[in-house]
Amino acid sequence: MPETPAAPHLSPLPVASRLRSIISGSVGNLVEWYDWYVYSAFALYFAPSFFPKGDLTAQLLNTAAIFAVGFLMRPLGGWLMGGYADRHGRKAALLLSVLLMCAGSLLIALTPSYQSIGVAAPVLLVVARLAQGLSVGGEYGTSATYLSEMADARNRGFYSSFQYVTLIAGQLLALLVQLGLQQVLSPAQMYAWGWRVPFVIGAAAAVSALYLRRSMAETEAFAQQTLAPGRAEKGAGQLTGLLRYPREVLTVVGMTLGGTIAFYTFTTYAQKFLVNTAGFSKAGATLISFGALAVTIVLQPLFGALSDRVGRRPVLLFFGVGATLGTVPLLTLLARTQDGWAAFGLLLIGLVIVSGYTSINAIVKAELFPTHIRALGVGLPYALTVAVFGGSAEYVALLAKDRGVEAWYYWYVTACAAISLVVYLRMADTKSTSRLDDESRGKHV
């Protein structure tokens, strides 16, 4: 079979334009994840408005179930918008995802309580989370692809790490808004209407992100692909095209499994764990989580830059070994501590370990796939894994606590991390086998 002719060469983007586009894409990513995590950060306050009956754990179980429902839309988002990004461009898909997130946040902000409209309130909450799940499902794969393709070859790990810099910054911003509201509003006001404020902020910020993303440049890799002869025969953005890469798909699933559960355990669930298990106040738990995440955000580019020097695999192995051996003792000690600084230290250790995954998982996945299927290849298997395991993490943890076997959850996280560790041990180092290098050499596979 004759080799497909290469596309005409395009002039590279100026460095200033490249950096401006990376920043614009990253800011949009921050807003997306702020909107996503505000739900989890404020669940303690709005749960009674939508589910008035039952104790705190029962109410949190209901909100965690809807949090998981939102995750079920992420594979659909990864499929639809990943394919859209591979066919019509990364920029177009990123604009669409931020529009969906804006709509979801606005709907939550405006939905009346259960006391006002009855069962329609939780139904509308589900609809909003479905829209946000669709948005985030498309955002991850497209954003990871965009940052990886925009970065220069020597600094891909560093630049792509900003996906999780902005992701964690979104969480931090959600917690910062929570801390601010806790200072200016009484608990009664927070439960009554204060929890709506962060969703209004999120919807407004999404409009600003949309404006920024309109000025982004398309990636050279995608632009080059659109000029390549025979593009239609490659199955660009189609499931049939993705099925040509079964090993890569399974690698994404395996490397994501332990990472996503560990990440959600030590980030979104940690705040509830500190309140519901360790016995900290809501404000105290928020402050501890904020402090640990603030330190963690600095680690992402450091680990990313390290992977540019030593390779991706050693950094992933650091996470795999650390999470497998450290999860049970860390969570056991965290559950028993009554000291805020001790809780901060334990949570930070967990997040340092998790950073071995979060900092470079985007670039590793992007390096596995060629341009015509990259956004779909990164987004869909990742979203499927996160939907099943990351989205259910809080629910499984709360259910284990409700049944009096909370420690089982610690071992569940450990087992998933161990599976990912096996994948890391067996996979090649994508820094040396990157398909992103095929584009830089003018090849189209």
Which of 335, 211, 235 is CA-nearest to residue 278? 335
- Predicted pLDDT of residue 56: 61
Q: Which two tokens stand for residue 111?
A: 């939905």
Q: Comparing C-alpha atoms, which of 138, 209, 153, 60 is closest to residue 376?
A: 138
440 SS3 class? helix
Using only the alpha carbons of the chain, give its radius of gyration. Answer: 21
Structural domain boundaries of the chain? 15-223+244-440
- Amino acid at position 52, single letter: P
pLDDT on residue 68? 67
Q: How many other CB atoms are there within 10 angstroms of residue 1's CB atom?
A: 3
Q: For residue 11, give the 3-state DSSP assignment.
A: coil
Structure tokens at 416: 């998933």
Helix (H, G, I), strand (E, B) or coil at 252: helix
In the block, residue with structure tokens 């996979």: 427
Tell me the residue type at 333: L
pLDDT tens string for the chain (445 positions)?
344 444 445 445 666 677 777 777 777 788 888 887 888 778 778 877 877 666 566 666 666 677 667 777 888 888 988 888 888 888 888 888 888 888 888 998 898 887 888 778 888 888 888 888 888 888 888 888 888 888 888 888 998 898 889 888 988 888 889 888 988 988 888 888 898 999 999 888 888 888 888 878 777 777 777 665 555 445 676 788 888 999 999 999 999 999 999 998 998 889 889 998 888 988 888 889 889 989 999 999 999 999 999 999 999 999 999 999 999 999 999 999 989 999 999 999 999 999 999 999 999 999 999 888 898 999 899 989 988 888 788 888 988 888 889 899 999 999 999 999 999 999 999 988 888 866 554 444 4
pLDDT attached to residue 233: 44
Task: Give the model's pLDDT for residue 5.
Answer: 46
* pLDDT of amino acid 226: 66
Alpha carbon 88 to its chain centroid, in Å, reads: 23
Residue 18 tokens, joined: 């490249």
39 close to 129: Cβ distance less than 8 angstroms: yes
- Are 371 and 224 in contact by the 8 Å Cβ rule? The answer is yes
Chain centroid offset of residue 170 CA: 10
Token pair, residue 387, equals 């939907």
Predicted confidence at residue 227, as pLDDT, reads 60
Grouping H, G, I as helix, E, B as strand and the rest as coil, residue 267 is: coil
Q: What is the pTM of this model?
A: 0.82
DSSP string, 41-108: HTHHHHHHHH--SS-HHHHHHHHHHHHHHHHHTHHHHHHHHHHHHHHH-HHHHHHHHHHHHHHHHHHH
pLDDT of residue 445: 41
Phi/psi of residue 27, nearest 5 degrees: -65, -40
Ramachandran angles phi, psi of 231, nearest 5°: -60, -40
User: 441: which DSSP letter?
Assistant: T
CB of 163 closer than 8 Å to CB of 147: yes
Query: How many C-beta atoms surround the C-beta of residue 212 within 10 A?
Result: 18
Buried b (16+ CB within 10 A) or exposed e, 326-344: bbeebbeebbebeeeeebb
- Contacts of 6 by beta carbon, 8 Å cutoff, 6+ apart: 228, 442, 443, 444
How many residues are given for the chain?
445
Q: What is the DSSP letter of 279?
A: -
Kindly tell me the sign of the dihedral angle through the C-alpha atoms of 99, 65, 37, 94. Answer: negative
Residues contacting residue 221 through CB under 8 Å, at least 6 positions apart: 149, 371, 374, 436, 439
- CATH number for the domain running over 15-223+244-440: 1.20.1250.20
State the Cα–Cα distance between residues 79 and 134, nearest whole angstrom: 10
Phi and psi at 404, nearest 5°, equal 80, 20
> Which residue bears the tokens 């076997």?
405
What is the reported pLDDT for 444?
Answer: 42
442: left (phi over 0), alpha (psi -120 to 50) or beta: left
Measured between alpha carbons, how far is 16 from 158 in angstroms, rounded to an integer? 17
